Amino acid sequence: MKITLPDNSSRELPEGSSGYDLAKDIGPGLAKSAVAVTIDGVQKDLHDEIMTDSSVSIITIDSDEGLEIMRHTLTAQVLARAIKNLYPKSKLAIGPTIEDGFYYDVESEEVISSDDLNKIEEEMKKIIKSKSSITKKLVSKSEAMKVFKSNKEPYKEIIINESDQDDNFQLYYQEDEKFVDLCRGPHLPNLGFIGSFKLTKVSGAYWKGDSNNSMLTRIYGTAFNSDKDLQQHLDNLEEALKRDHRKLGKEMDLFHFQDEAPGMVFWHPYGWNIYKTLQSFIRNKLDKNGYLEINTPQVVDRKLWEASGHWDKYRENMFITEIDEEHANEKRVNALKPMNCPCHVQVYNQGIRSYKDLPIRYAEFGSCHRYEASGTMHGLMRVRGFTQDDGHIFCTQDQIESETALFISLLSEIYSDLGFKEFDIKLSTRPEVRIGSDEVWDKAESALENAIKKLDYPYKVDEGDGAFYGPKLDFVLTDAIGREWQCGTFQADFNLPDRLDAEYVGEDGNKHHPVMIHRAILGSFERFIGILIENYAGKLPFWLAPQQVVIASIVSEVNDYAIEVQELLKDQDVRAEIDLRNEKISYKVRDHSSKKVPIILAIGKKEKIDQTVSVRRIGSNDTEVLDLKEAIKQIKKENSIQH
């Protein structure tokens, strides 16, 4: 049997050899660290047999795949068993891995709270200490049902019963065979490979995410290969809590949410200052890059959504309105727009377009609404009502590459001005189910890739992850504490112009459908503002700060001077406020520092006489006395994002 390795070398092994046999054949070091195997692109358990010529790679514990398998084993074989040991009447549901960790959903007669996590952790450590080997049995559907019916595990029975397969159900046992779980695998060969872990929280979760089903207890955890990596992650989590935009939004008086409008943002004056400043910044960049700003209706008849195809695909996520039209015998069904693209085609379609008119770049700060399940909403990061920095480019196929390059350059400039100097690019190529010829896809994919290469940006290719209507680019930012945020997007669309009859007269005199490029840089203003708040821990760049300067009086006799300073700063378009409260200056400084005000100007009798100000900057305990004119000159300079 021929085994082809990742480096294209090959080895001959007897038919039925396992991944472990292959690792041992390559070398004892690899065999010692091997935890699983990939056979022809599919992950398998280390001791699964290889029956035919195959491409095989060994997964080691120190790889990303090995870490994922360790986390999966930890939740399915250790956390699940610990719960059954401590709460024998509990019923196991599901236990998948998630980003940086895992969780298990259980039904328990006893209340399991965060106070119980230490106890569960200790039980898990006892189980891990055994270093038990893990074995797998493949059984039929009826045999699997029998096992879990006997164990009184109704949720496992439901999973088995709803499965389309009739055999090869994977049951995983530990060495003493006192615990069994149904799992897709693969698992570690034994518990000795498990590194450092920590249970993090307890919450409620509906079975299958359906509020009509039972409420289960969800226990979350995280795991890494070393104590050091685990501690670094826990430190990052603690830092993330400090930076939580919801917490800072309340402290800085930026926005709030309430039950009467779930998932909709109530912007306060200071929060709206950020919004307006960011919007003005983006508008200026778009104007300079040849975009034509438009504005389209928020309520649109379902006929357009049916024509565009969105009604069939997004109907459940759309807010629907029904109106009794005058002189009509039936209701008119409209929807709040969940995206802007069909409306932009309507603007394009007004009049006859020539190839000489292309490319046409439309931009809109488009207000959209999408119904998100209540359990998925998260502050500004996921809302039901949001505004996109949306744009659509109508161009020829030959213009895709140049438009891609222009967009990436614009995006890079904007991200840099906002403090994100680096970003990752992912190119998603044709999926199996798609429209358009291979020739068109070849041309579009090459255009996107060539543009990235010419700009000399690193990128990775995600094969088959493109939209059915065209390839796309995703742009991912990394924030100050290492978290990744997918924000920008650039998608070539060969479908919508055809569906909505968008055309141009080509050089040959015939009518052609343009390529429609969907593009966004921030994504949504709401989410991006949340990212900015967390990235800067509320201490936004001076030009973007909601309160830029506060002039705080030390004694009431200088109130007139404080007002004069405020007016001079306002004349320079600086967001300046005065604090004339009858409070100690130390109290005022603490109060405004907690609200992340970048500059506090303290004014007393001496400052008034000398026409100076005492300047205190956020993050510094020092003050600097400056001549008023010099202080205003410096502040004016700081208010320019080109500094």
- Asked if 511 contacts 451 with a C-beta cutoff of 8 angstroms, the reply is no
3-state secondary structure labels for all residues of 51-98: CCCEEEEEEECCCHHHHHHHHHHHHHHHHHHHHHHHCCCCEECCCCEE
Residue listed under structure tokens 């309520």: 299
Beta bridge partners of 287: none
| E strand or H helix at 441 | helix 438-455
Is 196 buried (19+), middle (13-18) or exposed (0-12) by CB count in 10 A? middle
Dist CA 54 CA 182 (whole Å): 27
> Is 287 an active-site residue?
no
**Catalytic-role residue among 218, 392, 592, 608:** 392
Of the candidates 316, 319, 205, the one whose C-alpha atom is nearest the C-alpha of residue 262 is 319
**Catalytic-role residue among 81, 156, 285, 370:** 370
> Is 165 an active-site residue?
no
3-state secondary structure labels for all residues of 221-267: EEEECCHHHHHHHHHHHHHHHHHCHHHHHHHCCCEECCCCCCCCCEE
> Is 390 an active-site residue?
yes
> Is 611 an active-site residue?
no
Full strand arrangement of the beta sheet holding 169-174 = 134-139, 169-174, 180-182
CA 471 to chain centre: 20
**Catalytic-role residue among 91, 285, 518, 575:** 518
> Is 616 an active-site residue?
no
Give the angle subtended at the CA of 214 by the CAs of 212 and 215, to the nearest 5°.
110
Dist CA 254 CA 252 (whole Å): 6
> Is 184 an active-site residue?
no
Give per-residue burial for 32-54: e unless 16+ CB within 10 Å, then b. Answer: ebbbbbbbeeebbbbbbebeeeb
**Catalytic-role residue among 341, 343, 395, 487:** 341
> Is 344 an active-site residue?
no
Residue 523: what are its φ and ψ, rounded to 5°?
95, -95
3-state secondary structure labels for all residues of 264-321: CCEECHHHHHHHHHHHHHHHHHHHHCCCEECCCCCEEEHHHHHHHCHHHHHHHHCCEE
**Catalytic-role residue among 181, 390, 474, 493:** 390
| E strand or H helix at 220 | strand 215-224
Residue 443: what are its φ and ψ, rounded to 5°?
-65, -45
Cβ of 264: how many Cβ atoms within 10 Å?
15
Give the contacts of 97 (CB within 8 A, at least 6 positions apart): 68, 71, 72, 75
Strand pairing class (215-224; 255-256):
unpaired
Using the Cα atoms of residue 627, residue 628, residue 633 and residue 636 in order, give the sign of their dihedral: positive
Dist CA 218 CA 202 (whole Å): 6
Residue 603: what are its φ and ψ, rounded to 5°?
-130, 125
Residue listed under structure tokens 């990394």: 478
Using a CB cutoff of 8 Å and minimum separation of 24, what contacts does 14-21 make? 15/50, 15/51, 15/52, 16/49, 16/50, 16/51, 17/49, 17/50, 18/46, 18/47, 18/48, 18/49, 18/50, 19/44, 19/45, 19/46, 19/47, 19/48, 19/50, 19/56, 19/58, 20/46, 20/47, 20/189
**Catalytic-role residue among 472, 527, 575, 592:** 472
**Catalytic-role residue among 91, 156, 285, 388:** 388
Residue 347: what are its φ and ψ, rounded to 5°?
-65, -45
Dist CA 539 CA 86 (whole Å): 46
Active site residues: 341, 370, 388, 390, 392, 472, 518
